[in-house]
Every structure is written in C-alpha cells, then in structure tokens.
C-alpha cells in the first residue's frame, strides 16, 4: 500500500493538484504537511513511503528558486531524507520541488566544491509557460518505468539545468530530456529531469500533475493529438504517479 506525504512551504501552490494526482493513481492515503511539521518531528516521515515536494514558489524563491527550502533540508533533515530513501522509499520533486532536491544535494553526491549541477535562470532570462515534448533515457528511475515519451506543460523562470563539469559519468542519472528542437530554457544536454543513482529520487521541471486527463491537453477539442492519434482517456502525466504507487503493490 502506498502512503504519500506531500511537503509544502510558504509559496507552494501545486500541492492540492499533486495530491489529487496521487489519489487518482490509487494511493492508499495522501497527506499534505508544512515543512515546519517535519522540522519539529522528523519521525512523521516514517508513516509515508512516497514523499513529494510539489511545484510553486517556496519561500517566494528568495535568494534563488527552491534555495531556502533546500537549505532547511540540507542543514536539518539530510540524514532523515537519506534514511527515508535508503528504506526503499520514493521521493519526487516537481518544478520547484526539483530545484529543492537538486540544491539540497539529494540527487548528486557533492564534492569539496558543492553540487556538480544546478538549475538556474532560463536562457531567455524570462518566465516560460508552454507545453513541451519529452523523451526518456535509459535509467533506474522508478517513476519513468514503461514511459518512452510525454507531452507536458512547463512553467518556470529558473529551469535551465547546468553542469559544473563533464557529465559523462552521470549520464544514466539524466533520465528525462526535452526534444532537442523544443528545449525551452537552454538546459545543457536538453535535461528536463534527473534521478539519483538508486532511481528512487527523481526530479523534473515539467508538471505531470497538470496533465492527468485528456481534456487538459491544449488540443483536446480536436480529439486528436499532434501525431494524429485519438486522445487517450488519461493524460501523459498520470503514468508517473501510477509508477510510484504501483511500486508498493
């Protein structure tokens, strides 16, 4: 049985939609909690086997997107989060949640100079809101099992993925990419999502919780996709949540 804990902070605005996505995917229980509750009582995490940090503008994106939220985890909850994942549990970060996971050091091992990767301002230096085509890469990412491609919306200003050094040794962690012709933010290697080495921690910039039903597709009234196929009954994003839930069945 899957028990989901959605972690929010001041400025988070996609928590309800994400909770709905997990319920739709068949989660046994879904709970939304403020980060302060976890800081006060870290053992609350023990009652969940899926942890999700949803999208939004946590702490107003002060300093940088997701930075303050990430520092709270890194400075006070790093061991708690690591034990959570080592217990064969799952962590998902969407948009702002991806920024939090990356900047807290949960996705890549840090060296003496800190994290080898980050998410920074879009190459356009502007907020971008559009739909993008995505393709998956060979990886251990549990959330992407059985998925080859997706069409999802993005909405961010700081979504450009950049590496500090050669990425060759981490290629299997670069689990999700924008189609090369549709890279909306200038991300290196067209990266849209990353998993940790175990595949149990996954972060992505697109919003799967915003495409759960066929009527959320921008062309849904035409009844066909851009490939000329009839719309499925569910949206592409639902499979990510279903993969997480089914992992515990």
Instruction: Give the pLDDT band (50/70/90) at residue 219.
Output: confident
Q: What pLDDT was estimated at residue 221?
A: 81
Distance CA 106, CA 241 (A): 20
Please state the φ and ψ torsions of residue 109, each to the nearest 5 degrees: -65, 135
What would the mean pLDDT of 45-65 be, rounded to a whole number?
95
Q: Is 3 a catalytic residue?
A: no
Task: With beta carbons less than 8 A apart as the criterion, state whether 2 and 27 touch.
Answer: yes
Distance CA 175, CA 173 (A): 5
In the three-class reduction of DSSP (H, G, I as helix; E, B as strand; rest coil), residue 220 is classed as helix
**Whole-angstrom Cα distance, residue 100 to residue 119?**
10
Whether the per-residue pLDDT at 213 is higher than 90: the answer is yes
Q: What is the pLDDT of residue 230?
A: 58
Which pLDDT belongs to residue 159? 97
- 171-182: per-residue pLDDT in tens? 889 999 999 888
Task: Using pLDDT thresholds of 50, 70 and 90, give the confidence band for residue 224.
Answer: low
Name the DSSP class of 131: E
Distance CA 159, CA 11 (A): 17
Give the β-pairing of 117-120 and 160-163.
Answer: antiparallel
Evaluate whether the domain defined by 3-246 bears CATH number 3.40.50.880: yes
What is the Cα–Cα distance from 96 to 119, expressed in whole angstroms?
10
Q: pTM of the predicted model, to two decimals?
A: 0.94
Residue keyed to tokens 């009234």? 221
CA torsion sign for 217, 219, 224, 229 is negative
Distance, in Å, from the CA atom of 49 to the CA atom of 120, rounded to the nearest integer, reads: 30
pLDDT digits (tens, 9 = 90+) for 100-137: 999 999 999 888 777 889 999 999 999 999 999 999 99
pLDDT, tens digit, 9 for 90 and up, residues 62-77: 999 999 999 999 999 9
Active site residue 34: no
182 is catalytic: no
Return d(Cα 187, Cα 209) in angstroms, integer. Answer: 22
Catalytic-labelled residue, pool 95, 158, 195, 217: 95
């Amino acid at each position: 049985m899957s028990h989901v804990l959605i972690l929010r902070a001041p400025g988070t605005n996609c928590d309800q939609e994400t909770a709905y996505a997990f319920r739709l995917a068949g989660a046994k229980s879904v709970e939304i909690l403020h980060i302060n509750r976890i800081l006060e009582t870290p053992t609350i995490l023990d009652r969940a086997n899926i942890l999700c940090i949803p999208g939004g503008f946590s702490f107003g994106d002060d300093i940088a997107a997701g930075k303050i939220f990430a520092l709270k985890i890194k400075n006070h909850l790093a061991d708690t989060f690591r034990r959570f994942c080592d217990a064969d549990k799952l962590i998902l970060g969407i948009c702002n949640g991806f920024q939090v996971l990356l900047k807290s050091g949960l996705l890549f091992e840090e060296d003496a100079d800190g994290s080898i990767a980050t998410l920074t301002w879009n190459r356009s230096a502007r907020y971008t809101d559009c739909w993008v085509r995505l393709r998956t890469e060979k990886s251990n990412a549990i959330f992407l099992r059985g998925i080859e491609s997706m069409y999802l919306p993005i909405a961010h200003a700081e979504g450009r993925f950049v590496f500090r050094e050669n990425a060759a040794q981490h290629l299997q962690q670069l689990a999700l990419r924008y189609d090369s012709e549709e890279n909306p933010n200038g991300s290196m290697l067209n990266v849209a999502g990353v998993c940790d080495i175990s595949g149990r921690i996954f972060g992505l910039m697109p919003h799967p919780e915003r495409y759960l039903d066929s009527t959320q597709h921008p062309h849904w009234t035409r009844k066909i996709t851009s490939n000329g196929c009839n719309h499925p009954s569910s949206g592409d994003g639902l499979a990510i949540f279903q993969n997480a839930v089914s992992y515990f069945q």
